[in-house]
Amino acid sequence: MDNLKISEYIEIQRNYFNSGKTKDINFRISQLKTLLKLVDENESRILEAISKDLGRHIIDSYMGDVGPLKKSINYTIKNLKKWATPKKVHSMTGTKSIIQPEPLGNVLIIAPWNYPFLLLLDPLVGAIAAGNCAILKPSEITVNTATLLNELISSTFEPDYIKVIEGGVEETKYLLEQKFDHIFFTGSTSVGKIIYQAASKNLTPVTLELGGKSPCIIDENTDVKITARRIIWGKLFNNGQTCTSPDYVFVDKKIKEKVINEFKKCILEFYGENPQVSPHYSRIVNAKNFDRLEALLHEGRIIHGGKTDRNDLYIEPTIIDNISPDFKIMQEEIFGPLLPVFEYENVQEAIDYINNNQKPLAAYVFTKNKKFYENVVKQTSAGGMSINDTIMHVTSEHLPFGGVGESGIGKYHGKYSFDTFSNYKSIFINTFLFDRDILYPPYKLCLKWTKRVLSLL
């Protein structure tokens, strides 16, 4: 799409927002219902497009993209009136104080390729709920999903309200030069920095949902079998291309061998002798990411897996031992089916390692000992955590989702999505029945009495 067209859409959306139509709560609810209907009526086409883009089983596309979106829309429809109701708070005698959420206006939502449907439309749920207009920029890498999203959105919503702009870096750069009232970006930390810099020119507020290396710590006092299953599931779902996928493991030296054996058993149980022929094992999204991952296989000792097939974008589930923190695999987010394993003698070694590196998007602890996980929770920082599980904290509408430090700025999901796209406007309402004469200049009270009067307000 040419730049002139893009700026026209932004302009018509600004006019549409200024008409006030999106502020009506019934309008917002009806638009959310329309979005849900769009998903329901086109579910099989959507699942097919995502699965084609990512070489994924359709059940994975339902669990990772379509299912969570439907749940999010239903939850939002159910709660929206409550969230949008202005709230009265404590106020001075004779006055009223109200907090009234209002939409930010015209927002831009930019999505990555790994959950190309959910990560474009779930922020949109928050944007619609809060009463905004939105420009949606899907990832150009998952082209089937992007094309279908464009078709479905443009045949369902007026472009002055919601519009998909397809494109890559050039189109995104142009979009970033325009004025928006909020930019919601999901993607890599490196591109996140570009977005933040561009947004700062217009002082545009941002939500940056970024990545990072999410660690797992395994205590000796754990259920080894269930621990292994939950880590391997989280690691290999979508072929490790999940922002909250467990990136690497720290395991107590005493049970390391047992855990590794259980990892191997679990891979076999999930995907069979040859995962390449399993319909349940996804592929790497493209050759660029395949080459990046293959280059990480040259350091450390591969103790399971390691086979690759570039023509099929296939990388076997791979466990790597003898890892040094200077290896390339520990310098970047892996985002693929490779699992480096470290051992520790004292859990403090793992905690110090995490604290000496960039703050992760997620962290996982496996233990039967409450004190053990409480210690890790207290001593480390992460966007979110699951104890005795991986990824599951992301699935709750009641928990805010987002990063901290290098893993992101801002949170969403459930009410937090509504908050992200709202301005909580403080409104103070006074009366003309009396006035605060004693506080106007020239001052009639000494400091002591002024303090007393102020403390009564």
The alpha helices in 347-446, defined as continuous H runs, are 347-355, 370-379, 415-420
Q: Which is nearer to ligand NAD, 210 or 231 (CB)?
A: 210
Q: Which is nearer to ligand NAD, 209 or 419 (CB)?
A: 209
209: annotated active-site residue: yes
How far apart are the C-alpha atoms of 445 and 443, rounded to whole Å? 6
Scanning 44-52, 73-81, 112-120, 122-130 for contacts with ligand NAD by CB under 6 A, the matching segment is 112-120
What contacts 24+ positions apart, CB below 8 Å, involve 45-49?
Answer: 45/148, 46/117, 46/145, 46/148, 46/152, 49/144, 49/145, 49/147, 49/148
How far apart are the C-alpha atoms of 139 and 307, rounded to whole Å? 29
What are the tokens at 154? Answer: 């443009």
Size of the site for ligand NAD (CB under 6 A): 27
Neighbours of 119 (CB within 10 A): 24
In the bound complex, which residue of the shown chain has the CB atom lying closest to ligand NAD?
A: 211
Using CB under 6 A as the binding rule, the residues of this chain from 174 to 193 that contact ligand NAD are 186-188, 191
Q: Pattern 53-82, binding to ligand NAD, x per CB under 6 A?
A: ------------------------------
Q: Is 210 in the site for ligand NAD (CB under 6 A)?
A: yes
Q: Which is nearer to ligand NAD, 56 or 137 (CB)?
A: 137
Among 89, 169, 287, 427, binds ligand NAD (CB under 6 A): 169
How far apart are the C-alpha atoms of 48 and 59, rounded to whole Å? 10
Minimum distance from CB of 49 to ligand NAD (Å)? Answer: 16
How far apart are the C-alpha atoms of 192 and 163, rounded to whole Å? 22
| Choice among 133, 209, 216, 262 that is catalytic | 209
Secondary structure of residue 210 in the 3-state scheme: coil
The neighbouring-strand residues paired with 443 are none
Using CB under 6 A as the binding rule, the residues of this chain from 403 to 422 that contact ligand NAD are 403, 408
What are the tokens at 373? Answer: 């996980």
Q: Is 114 in the site for ligand NAD (CB under 6 A)?
A: yes
Q: Which is nearer to ligand NAD, 187 or 300 (CB)?
A: 187
Nearest to 308 by CA among 298, 265, 231: 298
Q: Is 214 in the site for ligand NAD (CB under 6 A)?
A: no
The neighbouring-strand residues paired with 133 are 106
Minimum distance from CB of 202 to ligand NAD (Å)? Answer: 15
Residue 155 identity: S
Q: Which is nearer to ligand NAD, 140 or 389 (CB)?
A: 140
| Choice among 243, 262, 333, 397 that is catalytic | 243
Neighbours of 328 (CB within 10 A): 11
Kindly list the residues in this chain that would bind ligand NAD in the complex (CB under 6 A).
Answer: 110-114, 119, 137, 139-140, 168-169, 172-173, 186-188, 191, 194, 209-211, 243, 333, 335, 361, 403, 408
**What is the set of active-site residues?**
209, 243
